[in-house]
Structure 1
Amino acid sequence: MDGFEVSCDAGRLDVGLVHRFLSQESAWARGIPRELVERAMANSLCFGGYLDGNQVAFARVITDRATFANMVDVFVLPALRGRGYSKRLMESVLAHPDLQGLRRFTLATGDAHGLYAQFGFTPPSRPATLMERYYPDVYQRC
């Protein structure tokens, strides 16, 4: 193949890379402190995407591993986009044994609807039932 692999081994994750991307390049977590990234990763099911042993992609799933999951912090480094790595990352996430038979699997995206639709994600069937507390600039106040 092309040397790309996905792993859930927490020991392989490059926390510095994940933090740099989220805090400096992402549209959703700019300014997030490293300590929060570390805590979030420690309490989630994390997937690293690796090219020739170097981490180039990431996805984090917040889940009870029984009924619910929410996928967040998904990225492929910009220089490596368009090569199918996001699809392979998604395939690995959705194939994970702890994420089978869930009643609800959610995510939020601003620009990747087409990718997620390929994997069965749709707009909420009952959006009037969903509510949120959203503080988009919370990391700017840390």
Structure 2
Amino acid sequence: MSPMPANASGDLSIRVYYEDTDTGGVVYYANYLKFFERGRTEWLRALGVDQRELAAREQMMFVVRHADIAYRQPARLDDQIDIRTTVADLRASTLVFQQQALRDGELLASATVQICTVHATTFKPIRLSPSLRDLLNKALH
């Protein structure tokens, strides 16, 4: 897969299945966290970052430190929604993602998610490796 161009956002299209909804056929609020996780994973994958390889080679994993979500409109069974992912901030051991769930351009939910890099076995915070930091910086500028 070729690297994502500079200043790119990642978009992931998701179909809402029955398992994603509550008894009223509306997406259960916690499932947006799953949708946003998939969006971040695919954004990283498009940059060429394999998270399993990163954990094995550099003993580094990404974990959610904080998530702030605002819900605007419901998504429903069989809706096609787009998850838009961009990086708002990059620091020594954290990334801040801005994410949106959209249906036909209409904002359904938005989130700011702070990700921390941790050691794969101790789970203590560690700095991004220089190579990963360079890759992420190129995607942001």
TM-score by length of 2: 0.27
Higher relative contact order (CA 8 A, sep 6+): 2
Structure with higher Rg: it is 2
Q: Which has more strand, going by share of residues?
A: 2
Q: Which has more helix, going by share of residues?
A: 1
